Amino acid sequence: MCSVLCLNKRPRLGEGRGRSGVESAISILLLTVLLLIGLGVFIRQFDVDMGRFGIDTTTAGLLLEQTEPNTQEPALDALMPDGFKKLSETETYDAGNLYEKINGKAPSYTESGFEKLFTQRFISKDNESLWMELFVFDMAAIRNAFSVYSVQRRADADILSLFHPSFGYRTDNALYFVHGKYYVELIGSAESTRLFKAMTEIAGNITSKLKVGEVEQIAELSLFPDENAVLGSDKLYLADAFGFDGLTDIFVRRYKLDDETISAFLSKRPDSKKAEVVAESYRNFLIENGATTRKAINKTLEGKVLDFYDTTEIVLSTGPFVVGIHEAENQRSAEELAVKLIDKLSTSKKR
């Protein structure tokens, strides 16, 4: 009896193997489906936008257009000069980590509208001692770019006219200029004619390839008198001009009169009342710090001329403008320049 029952429980030939094969096939199919689902999730989650790394898969390395209109991120590879190759990949910094690249100077950028920095190094193919680093600062607007450019500019720098209508200068081993909202620096490893030529080639590539739309003109720069002006001396202080936090958006131009250099300044305010408030606040600031009122040579400037530690300061308002002269050695020259500046503003308002 037992033998019969036992025989009846035995699987028929091939029965166990068939069930095992079906189960294996189902397992493989399920595993394949799970793998495909996982792969889809992975691709969706980690979809790589090569444009974020300076690689444009649709325009062969030219400039990258972003989703926002009229905004671009520069593909620095496309700016490389002839005879050079990449020494590093493009690096990008924002306001949160800019200090990692320019430690100590970051606040002067972030407080002036800074958005991003793009930087890359290039090296000569036949002379590895010749290399340079390109810095492209996106400052959001030309006024911001001009401010950081002008405030940092060295007094003895050679002004260049390569970038009209932008602004530019060079030093022994570097090139600096403004292109629309971008402030650009090119720093070389050494003083070299070959390097400078390569830098100017990059600058040309930037001005031709890095589109910035219609470049906004800085209107205030046309309001200064031109006579005796020092070429390339214009500056824009967005805040804390001359150590006073009430002086913002202050444009300054230096003039050479005889053997003296004099600085004239102006700033446009919303209306004449606000301009007078700022002018009066600055005069009071100077007086609180040791300035005394001087008798004016030109009666139209009476009450506006100050002696500040043996230098002449002139501060007043005319219409919506705060104007003045800063740290002049000669009072007569200072007053003459102040009157010319006032006349120029008056003429400009009539146009």
* Predicted local confidence at residue 56, as pLDDT: 36
**Which residues in the chain are classed under CATH 3.40.1000?**
51-209, 219-350
pLDDT in tens, 217-253: 899 999 999 999 998 899 999 999 999 999 999 999 9
Closest CA to 264 of 164, 319, 344: 344
Cβ-Cβ contacts under 8 Å for 66 (sequence gap 6 or more):
72, 73
74 alpha-carbon distance from chain centroid: 13
Closest residue by Cα to residue 315 from 254, 267, 253, 349: 267
Grouped pLDDT means (10 residues each) for the chain, 351 residues: 39 42 57 56 41 33 36 81 96 96 93 96 96 97 95 85 73 93 96 95 91 82 95 94 96 94 97 97 97 97 97 97 97 97 86 57
What's the confidence (pLDDT) of residue 17?
41
Q: What pLDDT, on a 0 to 100 scale, did the predictor assign at position 259? A: 87
Model pLDDT, residue 350: 61
Q: What is the pLDDT of residue 47?
A: 42
Q: What is the pLDDT of residue 351?
A: 57
Query: Biggest alpha carbon distance in the chain?
Result: 138
Q: Which is nearest to 266 in space by CA: 345, 332, 343? A: 345
CATH 3.40.1000 applies to domain 51-209: yes
Q: What is the pLDDT of residue 160?
A: 83
Please give the pLDDT value at position 332: 96
Report the candidate in 229, 218, 232, 222 with the shortest Cα–Cα distance to residue 153: 232
* 191: CB partners within 8 A, 6+ apart: 172, 173
Distance (Å, rounded) from C-alpha 341 to C-alpha 263?
A: 11
| Secondary-structure class of domain 219-350 per CATH | alpha beta
Q: Do the strands 158-160 and 84-86 form a parallel or antiparallel pair, or are they unpaired?
A: unpaired
Residue-level pLDDT at 48: 38
Cβ atoms of 135 and 152 within 8 Å: the answer is no
**181 Ramachandran zone, left/alpha/beta (phi>0; psi -120 to 50):** alpha
What phi and psi values does residue 78 have, to the nearest 5 degrees? -70, -10
pLDDT tens readout for residues 2-19? 443 343 333 333 444 444
Give pTM, 2 decimals.
Answer: 0.77
Q: Determine contact, residues 122/81, Cβ cutoff 8 Å.
A: yes
